[in-house]
Amino acid sequence: MDNQELKNAISGVLVIDKPIGMTSHDVVNAVRFGTGIRRAGHTGTLDPRASGVLVILVGPAVRLSEYVSASDKRYQAIIRMGASTDTFDADGRFTQQTNTPFNVTEAQFESTLKQFVGEIEQTPPPYSAVKVRGRRAYDMARKGEEVELAPRKINVYHLEVLEWAPPEVVVDVHCSSGTYVRSLANDMGNVLGCGGYLVGLRRTKSGRFSLRDATPLRKLQEAFRAGNWYQYLIPAAEALGDWPAIELDPDTVDNVKHGHRMPANPADKPGINNLVRGVSMAGELVALMELDTTTSEWQPKKVFYS
């Protein structure tokens, strides 16, 4: 196997602690350049101002993106109360400011937090990557055009004050994919009547990966230069490590990789949307399998093993 064939066979996950100042796409490009592997993509954008867990899928594992991207996220958000901006963060221009002393109590703030826990409707910020009639909302907003974004349903599982240092508050946010923490900050400020905007954001968890799993980008780039970056590559099977798995013997692996069905065991417990991971005896991800309840068979949905 030559060097290019070896690179084409590499499949897995790099969990990176993204620094402030880089876009998520910048980090993906750094991974592509450092590994020499073109197939790489992130699983949930982090704004340039934000830092923390950015999950990068490398090689054939990029086909897991739709499942990994849908995972829950966790953040530490720094919200400054007493003003609002048009971008809902510190990059924007002020749309509301007050010269009166900040007089919201911690009890009032925590009471407001409770209104945002559960399934709620949230309108994305006008300066966001959401498309409106085929155009990015931020492009329209920068040109002074009216941006009307439809609210969407999100889930906020947990909100907790970690530090009360008015006018700034540090909040732990556990939420579904697609949640804009900037919008949460703005909406909380509106409810309190004093305004609020995001001044700092650190993603502490994405799906099953947390900061404990993350490698600082600078350290990873050193490993690229040294040629030992493989030590940070997490097997693709672990990207969906919270999914149930069924172990496949060598004969079954061969059948599954050719798209053949296999009988389901009554003891098998499917996960979300009747899906499980099909894993080889060596722990490699072979396929995502979907249960056909009419025939009690596992149907390969996406095959990763060649």
pLDDT for 2 equals 46
Distance CA 63, CA 252 (A): 22
Active site residues: 47
Give the domain ranges of the chain.
Answer: 3-70+208-238, 73-206, 243-303
pLDDT for 134 equals 63
Ranking 46-55, 90-99, 232-241 by mean pLDDT, the lowest is 90-99
Query: Of 172 and 140, which is predicted with more confidence?
Result: 172
Tell me whether domains 3-70+208-238 and 243-303 share a fold: no
pLDDT for 270 equals 83
What integer is the mean pLDDT of 8-33? 93
Angle at 123 between CA 122 and CA 126, to 5 degrees: 150
CATH code, 73-206: 3.30.2350.10
* Crossing angle of the two packed helices 217-226 and 24-35, in degrees rounded to 10: 20
Which tokens hold the place of 174? 């556990």
Are 277 and 237 contacting, i.e. CB atoms less than 8 angstroms apart? yes
Distance CA 2, CA 4 (A): 6
CATH code, 3-70+208-238: 3.30.2350.10
Coil, helix or strand at residue 109: helix
Ranking 124-128, 131-135, 249-253, 278-282 by mean pLDDT, the lowest is 131-135
Which tokens hold the place of 88? 């809902």
pLDDT for 10 equals 85
SS3 content of the chain, % helix, strand, coil (to 5): 30, 35, 35
pLDDT bracket for residue 1 (50, 70, 90): very low
Burial of 241 (0-12, 13-18, 19+ CB in 10 A): middle
For the cut 80, the answer to whether the pLDDT of residue 175 exceeds it is: yes
Distance CA 64, CA 288 (A): 9
pLDDT bracket for residue 306 (50, 70, 90): low
Are 159 and 45 contacting, i.e. CB atoms less than 8 angstroms apart? no
Query: Of 144 and 45, which is predicted with more confidence?
Result: 45
CATH fold label, 243-303: 2.30.130
What integer is the mean pLDDT of 118-139? 74
pLDDT in tens, 60-118: 899 999 888 888 999 999 999 999 998 899 988 898 777 766 789 999 999 999 999 99
pLDDT for 102 equals 76
Distance CA 90, CA 113 (A): 21
